[in-house]
C-alpha cells in the first residue's frame, strides 16, 4: 500500500478503509420519541439508547463525543452472539453510571444465570469496569464480544447535514500486544482523530474489524472483573492524564471530587419540600456537567445531545439564573464570552466588533469553514445579556478589579448595540447575512417562529421585542455601574439611551386593538402581531409603562397562553399555533422563569406562584426531576402529565437553572456589594414551600445564612449567621 493510503502512528499502521461503514448492516429508522441515557463531563459526552448501548448505523445521535466529533458510533455487547439484556440503570451523578445486565437463553446456558455489571465514568476519557458473576449451579463458559466502530462524524453531520465529501476513515487496527483497539479518521483538514480502546487485567482472544472477543470462564458463584479505557486524541495530542496512571476507581474518585469541589462553592439550599430539594439538586448537577471547556475557558453547553457547545445566550441566561447561588459560574461565563467577543467584521461568521458570540464549535466542519461556527455571532440578544450579567455580577460580588478589567468589553458591547440600533432607526434588527447563518436570531431561533396573525412569516430585517427590552436594561445597568465607577458623563449617556428607547418602544410595539405587545417589527417597521410569550420578558426589564405591563401580565396568565403547566410560546388562538412545534405553542421552562421573575417585579405575586407551581409539578412528572428543554403546549387536563416534546434536549442549561430563578424571584434579594449592604424586600414563598434555609450566600466579602418562613400567606426572613461586614436590610 502506498504512503498516501496509510498513516503510521505509534506501534501500528493505519490503512484507509474504503468500505461503506454500514454496508450489510440494518439502518435504524428515526424514532421521534426515542429515549436517551446521557452522561457528560467537560468536553466529553455519551448518548446511549434504552439498553445503554449505541446501535450500529443509527441516525438517532447515539455515540461517544468529544468537541463536536463522534469518536464512537457503535458500541454493543453480546454473549454468544446475542445482545445482553439491561436490568437496571443508575445515572444520577451525571458523569457516571451503574448498569446491570443479564444473559438471554443461549444453548446450554439458561437465561438470567449470569449478570454483567457495567460501571462507567467520564473523566478526561471514558472508563468502564465490567464484572461478570455466575449464579448458575455449575461453571459457565461463553464468548463475550464488544462491537465498536466510529464514523467520526461532525455533530452537524449527525444532525442531518449531508456532505458530498468526507475525509478518510481508517481500518480498525489492533496493537501488537493485542490489548488495544484503534479507530481513526483523517479529516479534510489533514488532522488525524483517533479512538484508543485499551483493555486492562485481560487480553482479548482476538480483535478483528472492530469486534473484540473474550473467552469468559466463571466457576460457580464466582466473578471476574476487567477494565477498559477509551481515550480520544486529535493530531496525536493525548488527553490530560496518562491512561497508564488512572484506573476506573481513581477516575471515579477524581470525577466525584471535581463535583464536590465545585458544589462546595455554591449556596446550600434546604427546604421543607423534599421534592423541591430534589429538583434543585438535579439542576445543580446538570449545570455542573454542562460546563463546557473551550481553548479560552469554560462556558455552558446549551444542551445534550445537539447543543453540547458553548452558546452565548444560553451561558448568559443560565449564569444569570444562578448568580445569587453560584457567582463563580457567572464569572466563568463572562470571561469566556469576553474572550470570544467580536473584533472585526466578517459576513460569513456574522462577527462584528463588540458583538458577543452565539455558538462555538470545535469540530471538523468548523475548522474547514464549512459552517460559520468558529465562533458564529448570529444572535441579537447575547450582547446585551452579557452586559446585564456583567453588571449584576459586580453588584453581587463587589469585585472592582473584575469590573475595571472587563469595563472595556462592556463599553465595546454597548457600542455595538448603539451602532446596530442606529442602523435600525433606533431598534436592534437582525438579518441573516450568509446562507449558513440563522434566519431568526432571538431565543426563538427556528425559521418559522416570528409570524403575523395571518400566519405569514415576518420579512427581515426583524426587531424582536425582547431584544429591545434587554438593550434597555443593559443601558440602565451600565448607567448605575458607570456612576459607581466615577464616570458620571457616561452614566447620563446610558440613562438617556434607556429613556429614549423606552418612549419609542411603548409607542411602536403596543397594539391598541389587542392591548398587548407585538412580537416584533418587520423590515418595513410594521408590527408583527401574533400573540406570543416574548412580551413576558419585557416585564423583567422595566421597559414597559405600568398600565401596559399590567395588561401584558393579565394576557400571559389567560388560558390562551397559560396551559396550566406553564405559559406557551404562542397563543392557541393564533393561526400558526401548534402545541407540538418547537417555538409556536410549546412550553419552555426558562421562558416561564424569566416571565415569572418579571411578574414578581411588577407586583404580581400570585401569578408568579402559579407559574412556579406549574414548573415544579412538571418536574415531578419526570423520573429524575429534571425539567426538559421544552414540552408540548397542550392544555392541562385532569391528572394527565404534560406531554413530552419528541426531541427535547435533556439536560439543558437554562432549564436546569429554572427552579433556581423561580426561587430567586420569591426571595427578592437586592444586593449592593459595592456599598456593603443588601436589601431583602418582601420575600414571598408559595404555600407549598413554607421553609427555605440558604447557607453560604455570598455578597461581596460577606457570607450570610438566611431562613425564610411562610405562615398564613406571609413570608418573613431572619439572619441565622453573618460573616464579614455587611448591612442587611430586611423588609418583611
Please give the average per-residue pLDDT across 328-342, as a whole number.
Answer: 98
Lowest mean pLDDT, pick from 115-119, 165-169, 270-274, 402-406: 165-169
SS3 content of the chain, % helix, strand, coil (to 5): 30, 30, 40
User: What domains sit in the chain, N to C, each tagged with a CATH number?
Assistant: 3-257 (2.70.98), 295-667 (1.50.10.10), 677-731 (no CATH)
- Specify the pLDDT at position 32: 47
- Number of other CB atoms surrounding residue 275 within 10 Å: 13
- Specify the pLDDT at position 58: 85
Contact between residue 482 and residue 490 where contact means Cβ atoms under 8 Å apart: yes
- Number of other CB atoms surrounding residue 691 within 10 Å: 14
Q: What would the pLDDT profile of 655-666 be if each residue is shown by its tens digit?
A: 999 999 999 999
Contact between residue 538 and residue 597 where contact means Cβ atoms under 8 Å apart: no
CA distance 173 to 22: 18
- Specify the pLDDT at position 309: 97
- With bands split at pLDDT 50, 70 and 90, how would you rate the model's confidence at 235? confident
Q: What is the mean pLDDT of the chain?
A: 94
Model confidence, pTM: 0.95
- With bands split at pLDDT 50, 70 and 90, how would you rate the model's confidence at 88? very high
Between residues 26 and 637, the one the model is more confident about: 637
Contact between residue 651 and residue 630 where contact means Cβ atoms under 8 Å apart: no
Q: What would the pLDDT profile of 285-299 be if each residue is shown by its tens digit?
A: 999 999 999 999 999
- Specify the pLDDT at position 242: 53
Q: What percentage of the chain carries pLDDT values higher than 70?
A: 96
Grid cell, residue 99, equals 448498569
Distance, first Cα to last Cα, the chain:
81
Lowest mean pLDDT, pick from 406-415, 434-443, 534-543: 434-443
- Specify the pLDDT at position 7: 59
431: β partners = none
Grid cell, residue 488, equals 458620571
- Specify the pLDDT at position 245: 74
Contact between residue 538 and residue 466 where contact means Cβ atoms under 8 Å apart: yes
Residue 14 clears pLDDT 70, i.e. is over it? yes
Supply the Cα-derived Rg of the chain in whole angstroms: 27
Residue 2 clears pLDDT 70, i.e. is over it? no
Between residues 25 and 395, the one the model is more confident about: 395
Cα 553 to Cα 515, 521, 534, 572, 615: the distances in Å are 11, 21, 12, 17, 18
Please give the average per-residue pLDDT across 489-505, as a whole number.
Answer: 98
CA distance 531 to 153: 40
Q: What would the pLDDT profile of 59-87 be if each residue is shown by its tens digit?
A: 889 999 999 999 999 999 999 999 999 99
Phi and psi, residue 2, nearest 5°: -70, 165
Query: What is the DSSP-derived secondary structure letter of residue 640?
Result: P
Contact between residue 611 and residue 561 where contact means Cβ atoms under 8 Å apart: no
Q: What percentage of the chain carries pLDDT values higher than 90?
A: 88
- Specify the pLDDT at position 33: 55
Between residues 516 and 27, the one the model is more confident about: 516
Query: What is the DSSP-derived secondary structure letter of residue 544?
Result: S
Question: What angle is formed at CA 314 by the lines to CA 399 and CA 440, rounded to 5 degrees?
Answer: 130
Please give the average per-residue pLDDT across 384-408, as a whole number.
Answer: 98
Q: Bin 700: left if φ > 0, else alpha if -120 < ψ < 50, else beta.
A: left
Burial class (CB in 10 A: 0-12, 13-18, 19+), 572: middle
Residue 35 clears pLDDT 80, i.e. is over it? no
Q: What would the pLDDT profile of 141-195 be if each residue is shown by its tens digit?
A: 999 999 999 999 999 999 888 888 999 999 999 998 889 999 999 999 999 999 9
Amino acid at each position: 500500500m502506498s504512503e498516501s493510503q496509510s498513516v503510521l502512528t505509534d506501534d501500528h499502521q493505519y490503512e484507509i478503509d474504503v468500505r461503506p461503514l454500514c454496508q450489510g448492516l440494518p439502518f435504524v429508522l428515526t424514532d421521534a420519541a426515542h429515549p436517551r441515557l446521557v452522561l457528560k463531563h467537560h468536553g466529553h459526552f455519551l448518548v446511549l439508547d434504552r439498553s445503554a448501548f449505541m446501535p450500529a448505523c443509527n441516525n438517532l445521535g447515539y455515540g461517544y463525543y468529544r468537541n463536536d466529533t463522534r469518536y464512537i458510533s457503535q458500541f454493543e455487547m453480546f454473549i454468544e452472539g446475542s445482545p445482553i439484556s439491561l436490568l437496571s440503570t443508575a445515572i444520577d451523578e451525571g458523569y457516571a453510571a451503574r448498569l446491570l445486565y443479564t444473559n438471554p437463553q443461549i444453548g446450554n446456558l439458561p437465561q438470567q444465570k449470569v449478570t454483567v455489571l457495567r460501571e462507567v465514568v467520564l473523566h478526561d476519557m471514558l472508563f468502564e469496569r465490567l464484572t461478570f458473576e455466575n449464579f448458575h449451579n455449575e461453571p459457565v463458559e461463553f464468548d463475550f464480544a464488544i462491537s465498536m466502530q466510529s464514523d467520526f462524524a461532525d455533530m452537524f453531520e449527525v444532525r442531518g447535514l449531508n456532505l458530498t465529501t468526507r475525509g478518510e476513515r481508517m481500518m480498525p487496527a489492533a496493537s501488537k500486544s493485542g490489548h488495544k483497539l484503534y479507530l481513526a479518521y483523517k479529516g479534510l483538514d489533514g488532522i488525524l482523530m483517533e479512538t484508543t480502546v485499551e483493555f486492562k487485567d485481560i487480553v482479548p482472544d482476538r480483535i478483528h474489524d472492530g469486534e473484540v472477543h473474550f473467552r469468559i470462564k466463571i466457576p460457580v458463584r464466582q466473578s471476574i472483573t476487567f477494565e477498559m479505557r477509551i481515550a480520544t486524541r486529535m493530531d496525536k495530542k493525548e488527553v490530560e492524564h496518562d491512561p497508564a496512571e488512572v484506573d476506573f476507581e481513581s477516575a471515579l474518585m477524581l470525577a466525584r471530587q471535581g463535583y464536590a469541589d465545585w458544589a462546595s462553592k455554591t449556596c446550600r439550599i434546604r427546604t421543607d419540600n423534599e421534592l423541591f430539594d430534589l429538583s434543585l439538586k438535579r439542576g445543580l448537577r446538570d449545570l455542573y456537567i454542562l460546563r463546557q471547556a473551550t481553548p479560552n475557558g469554560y462556558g455552558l453547553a446549551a444542551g445534550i445531545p445537539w447543543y453540547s457547545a458553548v452558546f452565548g445566550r444560553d451561558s448568559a441566561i443560565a449564569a444569570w439564573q444562578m448568580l445569587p447561588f453560584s457567582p463563580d459560574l457567572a464569572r466563568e461565563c463572562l470571561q469566556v464570552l469576553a474572550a470570544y467577543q467580536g473584533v472585526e467584521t466578517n459576513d460569513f461568521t456574522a462577527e462584528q466588533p463588540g458583538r458577543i458570540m452565539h455558538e462555538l464549535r470545535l469540530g471538523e466542519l468548523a475548522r474547514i469553514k464549512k459552517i460559520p461556527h468558529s465562533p458564529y455571532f448570529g444572535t441579537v440578544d447575547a450582547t446585551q445579556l452579557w452586559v446585564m450579567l456583567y453588571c449584576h455580577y459586580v453588584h453581587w460580588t463587589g469585585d472592582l478589579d473584575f469590573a475595571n478589567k472587563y469595563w472595556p468589553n462592556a463599553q465595546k458591547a454597548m457600542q455595538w448595540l448603539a451602532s446596530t440600533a442606529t442602523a435600525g432607526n433606533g431598534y436592534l434588527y437582525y438579518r441573516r447575512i450568509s446562507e449558513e447563518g440563522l434566519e431568526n436570531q432571538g431565543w426563538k431561533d427556528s425559521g418559522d417562529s416570528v409570524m403575523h396573525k395571518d400566519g405569514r412569516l415576518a420579512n427581515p430585517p426583524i426587531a424582536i421585542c425582547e431584544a429591545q427590552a434587554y438593550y434597555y436594561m443593559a443601558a440602565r445597568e451600565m448607567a448605575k455601574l458607570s456612576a459607581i465607577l466615577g464616570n458620571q458623563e457616561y452614566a447620563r449617556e446610558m440613562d438617556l439611551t434607556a429613556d429614549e428607547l423606552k418612549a419609542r418602544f411603548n409607542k411602536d410595539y403596543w397594539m391598541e386593538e389587542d392591548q398587548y405587545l407585538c412580537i416584533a417589527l418587520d423590515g418595513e417597521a410594521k408590527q408583527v402581531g401574533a400573540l406570543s410569550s416574548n412580551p413576558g420578558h419585557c416585564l423583567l426589564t422595566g421597559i414597559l409603562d405600568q398600565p401596559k405591563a399590567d395588561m401584558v401580565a393579565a394576557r400571559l396568565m389567560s388560558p390562551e397562553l397559560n396551559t396550566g403547566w406553564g405559559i406557551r410560546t404562542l397563543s392557541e388562538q393564533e393561526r400558526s399555533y401548534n402545541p407540538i412545534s418547537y417555538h409556536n405553542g410549546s412550553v419552555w421552562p426558562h421562558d416561564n422563569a424569566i416571565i415569572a421573575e418579571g411578574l414578581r417585579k411588577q407586583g404580581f405575586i400570585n401569578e408568579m406562584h402559579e407559574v412556579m407551581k406549574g414548573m415544579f409539578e412538571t418536574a415531578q412528572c419526570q423520573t429524575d426531576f429534571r425539567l426538559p428543554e421544552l414540552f408540548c403546549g397542550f392544555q392541562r387536563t385532569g391528572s394527565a402529565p404534560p406531554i413530552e416534546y419528541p426531541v427535547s434536549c435533556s439536560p439543558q442549561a437554562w432549564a436546569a437553572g429554572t427552579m433556581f430563578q423561580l426561587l430567586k424571584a420569591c426571595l427578592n434579594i437586592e444586593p449592593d456589594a459595592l456599598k456593603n449592604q443588601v436589601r431583602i424586600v418582601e420575600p414571598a414563598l408559595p404555600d407549598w414551600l413554607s421553609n427555605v434555609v440558604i447557607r453560604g450566600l455570598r455578597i461581596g466579602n460577606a457570607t450570610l445564612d438566611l431562613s425564610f418562613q411562610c405562615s398564613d400567606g406571609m413570608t418573613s426572613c431572619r439572619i441565622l449567621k453573618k460573616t464579614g461586614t455587611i448591612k442587611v436590610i430586611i423588609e418583611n
